[in-house]
Structure 1
């Protein structure tokens, strides 16, 4: 990821907090919500690991790709569409983290345009200057496929807005009507939905920093 380190640390804190709560909810919450809470918790911890601002080992992007790709296919097979989109988006970002560094001469359409535009000036630089210019270009060129990144941004923006609207208390809850499971179940379900909204915002931040 590109961007300031403090954004990465905020995403780490957000992911760890949401992940711990969701996993705890998976053990103590209603049976109907445990599977979904477990998936949300694992996704949140994975998001925290990917957002870690310190330099990761060279093999970690491929590990993220394998883990999240498998999780996405598993969620797709179980017809959990949002979990599938989230996991596959994480796998996509993990690939984008490593592909440009392995292929410095081919970084997608935007990378090719930047490379052609800077080819002549770089040819006039010295050996040290050329190396520093290439490193700077590698850091400024966005990773991934712009169209796919844009589609994911649209999806998660819509999800955050729709899920945020659902956080507004229902008329029955406001008027004090009895809800199955009691007030504790209603409060826990609301916090779980709030965690999903927070994770959606975290996904938007990671996609923007890609």
Structure 2
């Protein structure tokens, strides 16, 4: 990433914590054959995608452009294509799958922009990637973060929903903030 080393490490710790939390939820969630199976399948799919994104963000924040672009493209590009296909063919959970596709495509975009710029050391002061695309992704993740944060705070009694039911929302909020921060450092 382009930011100071301390910010990169803090972002890596935040993303790794969120990704690990998603892995733990994925491991503890029941199988799809139990009652409420369709909702559980989407929940497990979401936990898996968020674990991949969180742990991937942590690695990307620390390693930056040292990982070959083909690895990043495979790691995030293939899930993005799978989420786009799943969203196109299954109306149940379409918005959630599209969000995961946007996140995976954003990670692919950032990784490819970083690796393309690493060979051009004299352009290090310039912004990486395409400014219009980066701006659109910044707007998307800013709006997503505000929306997710408002959902986290909204409860019937007006109290914070930070118990076990609020943990997935807090994880999503963390991931949105992390994506916004990574895009901001481009």
- On whether the aligned pair clears a TM of 0.5, the verdict is yes
What is the root-mean-square deviation in Å for CA atoms of aligned residues? Answer: 2.1
Structure 1 155/55 Cα, relative in aligned 2: closer, same or farther at 3 Å?
A: closer
CA contact (8 A) 2:3 2:185 kept: yes
User: Separation in 1 of the partners of 2:57 and 2:64?
Assistant: 15
Deviations 1:136-171 (A, max 9, x none): x42101110000000000000000000100001421
User: Separation in 2 of the partners of 1:100 and 1:9?
Assistant: 21
Deviation for aligned residue 1:200: 0.5
Structure 1 55/21 Cα, relative in aligned 2: closer, same or farther at 3 Å?
A: closer
TM-score (norm 2): 0.81
Deviation for aligned residue 1:55: 6.4
TM-score (norm 1): 0.72
The count of corresponding residues between Structure 1 and Structure 2 is 165
The equivalent residue for 1:204 is: 180
Structure-to-structure mapping, 1:48-197, within 5 angstroms: 48-52=58-62, 57=66, 59-79=67-87, 80-102=97-119, 104=120, 135=121, 137-171=122-156, 174=157, 187-197=163-173
User: Separation in 1 of the partners of 2:64 and 2:154?
Assistant: 42
* From 31, 36, 39, the counterpart of 2:46: 36
Greater Rg over alpha carbons, structure: 1
Structure 1 55/204 Cα, relative in aligned 2: closer, same or farther at 3 Å?
A: closer
Deviations 1:7-53 (A, max 9, x none): 1101110111111110110121355122211111111001111001x
The answer for unaligned runs of 5 or more in structure 1 is 105-134, 176-185
